[in-house]
Chain A
C-alpha cells in the first residue's frame, strides 16, 4: 500500500519534471540565425530559445541565470563556434549540469565547422585585437553558409532525435530547395553590388563581401573589437578621399556614432544591416534577413549614385 502510493507519487513527480523535456527537442541557439534555421528544419518538433538577440554583441554576453536554466534543459545547443561564444558558453557548459551539451557531444553543434572559414590568422596575439584563432566567426552574412550549415544541422537533429529523422530530412529538402532559389534571386538582385567599395564598422562582413563581391576599403575599428577612435576615423576619412566608398555598413547591435560621423563627412550613406534574424523590421526570418540586406545595400548604392 505504502509502496504503491510512494511509487505513484514518484511517478507524478517525475512526470512533472520529465514532461516538458519530452514534449519537443529543446534547442538553445546561441545566435538568432541558428534559432531561425533550427526552426525551419525542426518545425513543431523543436522548442527553441535564443540566447541572444540581434541587438546584442555575441562576443559580449553574460552567462546570466536565465541562460543557465535553458542550458540545463537543452538537448542541443546550436552555436557559431570559432570562439565567438568563448566568454560565456563554457560557463553554461560547466554549471548547467547537462552532459548532453558538452563539447564533442552530439548535443553541441558548431556551425563554423561546416563552412570554409575566412581570415584564419596564421598567428594570434592579443595586440591584434579580438582575433579568432579559428577564423572570422561571422559566417552568417553569406547565405550559402546557411545552406551548408542547414545540411549539417538536419543531420545533427536526426542524430539527437532519431524518432523524427525523416521529418527533419524532409524539412531540410524543402528548405534547401527554397534556399537555393532564394540565393539565385538575391544574387540576381545584387549583381549591381559587385565591386562596390564599402567601409565596415567591425570586420563582421567578410563573408558577405566574399559572396557579393563587395570591396572592403577600411574598418572603423582600428583593431577588431576596439571601438573607433577619432584619430582612426580621421585616417579612414582621409583614405576615402583617395579611394571613395559607396557606403559605411554596420551590424544592428553596433553603436552608430562612428558610422554617422564618417557618413556625414564622406557624404556616403550609413547603412545598418540586420546582421541576423530580428535585426530589422524586415529580417523576420532567414529569408527576410537577406532580402533586407541586399535591398539596403542596393538602396545605398542608388543613393550614392544619385548624389554624383
Chain B
C-alpha cells in the first residue's frame, strides 16, 4: 500500500512546477492546496503504516500460537491399550558364581555360634560353579490404595523360595506406610536390601551368625516418616518369626517383633548419611542345631526361650557435588549384639538353663575410582561372648575364639544393569581353619528398571 501511494504523491508535488505561467495568487492558493493535500496524504500514509505494523505483529502472534498448538497437539504416546496394558512390572535378576575355596566347606560352621542346619546350609560356601540368587520380581500398583510385589529366588541347590510377597499402602497420610505379607525386615541397613544390591557376594559374618544371612518375616509392618526436613523414620513389625533366629511355632499371636528408627540427612552437596538402631525380638521354640560336645561326640541341642538382637547401623556416602558417575565412596558399618535366655536341651536329653550374650560387627568401604569400576574392602569380626549352659556347662564347649573374615572385591559395571565381580576373602570363621576364597560372579538385571533403596 505504501508503495502504491508514492507515485501519486510524486505526481501531486510535481504539479506546481508545471504551473509556472499562473499568477502569484493562484500559485500561492495552489501551493497551499497542494501542501494541505500533502499533509492529508502523509497522515493517511502514517495511519496505513501503523495498521500494517499491527497486522504484521498479529500475524506473528498467530504464527506462534499455531506453533504452540502444533507442539501441544503432538503429545507423548499414550499408554498401550489391550488386555495386557495393566500387566505388572517384571524384572529378572540373573546371577551366577564360580568359587575356589582352599578349605573343604563340608564341615562349615561358625565356631561358637549355634546355627540350625537349614540356616547353615544357606550360608555355607560351595566349590566350583553355581547359580547364586537369581530372582524374579513382579510388582505393580494394585489400585489407588495399594502396591504389591513378589520376589522369587532360585537358590544354588535348585530350590525356589519366596523372598518377598507383600502388599503395601500408598495412600495413607501423615507419612504412614503399612506393609503386610512376607518381606525383608526393616532392621539394620543391609537386611532390607536384596542380595543383588549388596556390595559383596555374601552377607557379612555377623549377619550370617545372627540372622542366617538375612531375616525375612511373615507379618505386618508399620512405618512412620516424621514431617521434618531431617529424615527420621520409625518402624515396628509383628510377625510369625519362623526363620532363624526364630522358629516355626504352633501358637496364636506373634512370634517376632521388631522396632527400628533411622535418622539421616545431607552434609553439603557431596555427603549424605543414615544411621539406625533396631531391635528384633523372637521367641524360638525347640531351635535345634548340631554340635560337638566336650568329648568330641556329635550331638544335637535345642533352645527354647527369648532372643533379642540389637543392631546399630550407619552408612556414609560421598560423591563430588553428589555426582556419582565418576567417583564416589561409601562407608558402612553395623554392630549386632544378641542376648538369649531360656532353656537348652543337651542332645535331646538333659535340660538346663541357657543364657548367652554375643556380638559382632563389620565395616566396609566401597570406592568407585573410575566410571564402571569399584573396589571394596570389608572386615568382619564376631565375639562369642559369654555363654552359660547352666547344668550343662561341663558337657558343652565354650570356645574362646573370635571368628573373623576379610574380603576384598573389585567389580566392573558396564551399565546399570550388569556387573562382573571378583572377590577375594580370607575366612577364619572356623577355629583352626583358614579358608582362602576366590569368587567370580556375574549379576545382571533385565526387564523393568529397578529403583534401588538408599
Measured CB to CB, the residues of A under 8 A from B are: 17, 20-21, 52-53, 55-57, 60-66, 68-70, 72-73, 82-83, 86-91, 93-99, 102-103, 112-117, 120, 126, 129-130, 134-135, 144-145, 147-148, 180, 225-227, 253, 255
Tell whether, in the assembled complex, residue A62 and residue B324 are in contact, meaning their CB atoms are under 8 Å apart: yes
- Compute how far the CA of A20 lies from the CA of B227 in the bound complex, rounded to whole angstroms: 9
Given the complex, which residues of B lie within 8 Å of A116, measured CB to CB?
A: 70-72, 74-75
In the complex, chain B residues 259-300 whose Cβ is within 8 Å of any chain A Cβ: 262-266, 269, 272-274
Given the complex, which residues of B lie within 8 Å of A98, measured CB to CB?
A: 173, 175
Given known A113-B76, A120-B76, A226-B415, contact A97–B229 (CB-CB < 8 A) = no
Tell whether, in the assembled complex, residue A96 and residue B225 are in contact, meaning their CB atoms are under 8 Å apart: yes
Given known A20-B227, A66-B266, A69-B229, contact A96–B175 (CB-CB < 8 A) = yes
Tell whether, in the assembled complex, residue B230 and residue A134 are in contact, meaning their CB atoms are under 8 Å apart: no
Tell whether, in the assembled complex, residue A102 and residue B171 are in contact, meaning their CB atoms are under 8 Å apart: yes
Interface size class of B (residues with CB under 8 A): 35 or more
Q: Which of B72, B170, B454 contacts A114 (CB 8 A)?
A: B72
Q: How many A-B residue pairs have CB under 8 A?
A: 162
Given the complex, which residues of B lie within 8 Å of A129, measured CB to CB?
A: 415
Q: Which of A88, A93, A126 has the most CB of B within 10 A?
A: A126
Given known A52-B322, A96-B175, A135-B76, contact A87–B223 (CB-CB < 8 A) = no
Is the C-beta of B396 less than 8 angstroms from some C-beta in chain A?
Answer: no
| Interface residue stretch chosen among B122-130, B242-250, B444-452 | B444-452
Given known A52-B322, A55-B323, A87-B416, contact A227–B371 (CB-CB < 8 A) = yes
Report A252 CB to chain B, min CB distance, Å. 10
Tell whether, in the assembled complex, residue B325 and residue A255 are in contact, meaning their CB atoms are under 8 Å apart: yes
Given the complex, which residues of A lie within 8 Å of B326, measured CB to CB?
A: 255
Given the complex, which residues of A lie within 8 Å of B269, measured CB to CB?
A: 53, 55
Report B314 CB to chain A, min CB distance, Å. 12
Tell whether, in the assembled complex, residue A94 and residue B170 are in contact, meaning their CB atoms are under 8 Å apart: yes
- Compute how far the CA of A137 lies from the CA of B249 in the bound complex, rounded to whole angstroms: 53
Tell whether, in the assembled complex, residue A60 and residue B225 are in contact, meaning their CB atoms are under 8 Å apart: no
Q: Which of A21, A91, A95, A112 contacts B227 (CB 8 A)?
A: A21
Report B125 CB to chain A, min CB distance, Å. 31
Tell whether, in the assembled complex, residue B265 and residue A53 are in contact, meaning their CB atoms are under 8 Å apart: no
Q: Which of A57, A64, A86 contacts B323 (CB 8 A)?
A: A57
Given the complex, which residues of A lie within 8 Å of B175, measured CB to CB?
A: 72, 96-98
Tell whether, in the assembled complex, residue B454 and residue A63 are in contact, meaning their CB atoms are under 8 Å apart: yes
Given the complex, which residues of B lie within 8 Å of A90, measured CB to CB?
A: 451
Beyond A94-B177, A114-B72, A227-B372, 7 extra complex contacts between A and B, CB < 8 Å: A62-B454, A64-B454, A65-B272, A66-B264, A66-B265, A89-B451, A94-B168
Is the C-beta of B172 less than 8 angstroms from some C-beta in chain A?
Answer: yes
Tell whether, in the assembled complex, residue B417 and residue A126 are in contact, meaning their CB atoms are under 8 Å apart: yes
- Compute how far the CA of A99 lies from the CA of B62 in the bound complex, rounded to whole angstroms: 41
Measured CB to CB, the residues of B under 8 A from A are: 64, 67-68, 70-72, 74-77, 141, 144, 147, 168, 170-177, 223-233, 262-266, 269, 272-274, 317, 320-326, 371-372, 414-417, 446, 449, 451-454
- Compute how far the CA of A173 lies from the CA of B273 in the bound complex, rounded to whole angstroms: 42
Tell whether, in the assembled complex, residue A126 and residue B172 are in contact, meaning their CB atoms are under 8 Å apart: no
Q: Which of B147, B175, B230, B274 has the most CB of A within 10 A?
A: B175
Tell whether, in the assembled complex, residue A63 and residue B451 are in contact, meaning their CB atoms are under 8 Å apart: yes
Tell whether, in the assembled complex, residue B451 and residue A97 are in contact, meaning their CB atoms are under 8 Å apart: no
Given known A62-B317, A64-B454, A94-B147, contact A99–B449 (CB-CB < 8 A) = no
- Compute how far the CA of A243 lies from the CA of B68 in the bound complex, rounded to whole angstroms: 34
Given the complex, which residues of A lie within 8 Å of B232, measured CB to CB?
A: 69
Tell whether, in the assembled complex, residue A95 and residue B324 are in contact, meaning their CB atoms are under 8 Å apart: no
- Compute how far the CA of A8 lies from the CA of B269 in the bound complex, rounded to whole angstroms: 40
- Compute how far the CA of A96 lies from the CA of B173 in the bound complex, rounded to whole angstroms: 10
Residue of B at shortest CB range from A226?
Answer: B415
Residue of B at shortest CB range from A89?
Answer: B451
The 25 sampled A-B contact pairs (Cβ below 8 Å) are: A57-B324, A62-B272, A63-B452, A63-B453, A64-B272, A64-B317, A65-B264, A66-B264, A69-B265, A86-B449, A87-B452, A88-B451, A91-B453, A94-B168, A96-B225, A97-B172, A120-B77, A144-B67, A144-B71, A147-B68, A148-B68, A225-B415, A226-B415, A253-B325, A255-B371
Given the complex, which residues of B lie within 8 Å of A93, measured CB to CB?
A: 170
Residue of B at shortest CB range from A144?
Answer: B71
Q: Which of A60, A62, A63, A99 contacts B171 (CB 8 A)?
A: A99
Report A86 CB to chain B, min CB distance, Å. 5
Report B249 CB to chain A, min CB distance, Å. 31
- Compute how far the CA of A116 lies from the CA of B75 in the bound complex, rounded to whole angstroms: 5
- Compute how far the CA of A130 lies from the CA of B266 in the bound complex, rounded to whole angstroms: 28
Q: Which of B320, B372, B449 has the most CB of A within 10 A?
A: B449
Tell whether, in the assembled complex, residue A97 and residue B176 are in contact, meaning their CB atoms are under 8 Å apart: yes
Tell whether, in the assembled complex, residue B231 and residue A69 are in contact, meaning their CB atoms are under 8 Å apart: yes
Tell whether, in the assembled complex, residue A65 and residue B228 are in contact, meaning their CB atoms are under 8 Å apart: no
- Compute how far the CA of A89 lies from the CA of B452 in the bound complex, rounded to whole angstroms: 10
Tell whether, in the assembled complex, residue A102 and residue B452 are in contact, meaning their CB atoms are under 8 Å apart: no
Given the complex, which residues of A lie within 8 Å of B371, measured CB to CB?
A: 227, 255
- Compute how far the CA of A171 lies from the CA of B282 in the bound complex, rounded to whole angstroms: 59
Given known A55-B322, A55-B323, A89-B451, contact A69–B225 (CB-CB < 8 A) = yes
Report A298 CB to chain B, min CB distance, Å. 24
Tell whether, in the assembled complex, residue B321 and residue A65 are in contact, meaning their CB atoms are under 8 Å apart: no
| 6 closest residue pairs by CB, A with B | A65-B264, A65-B231, A55-B321, A99-B171, A97-B175, A69-B231
- Compute how far the CA of A117 lies from the CA of B264 in the bound complex, rounded to whole angstroms: 37
Report B120 CB to chain A, min CB distance, Å. 34
Given the complex, which residues of B lie within 8 Å of A52, measured CB to CB?
A: 322
Given known A95-B177, A99-B170, A117-B76, contact A56–B322 (CB-CB < 8 A) = yes
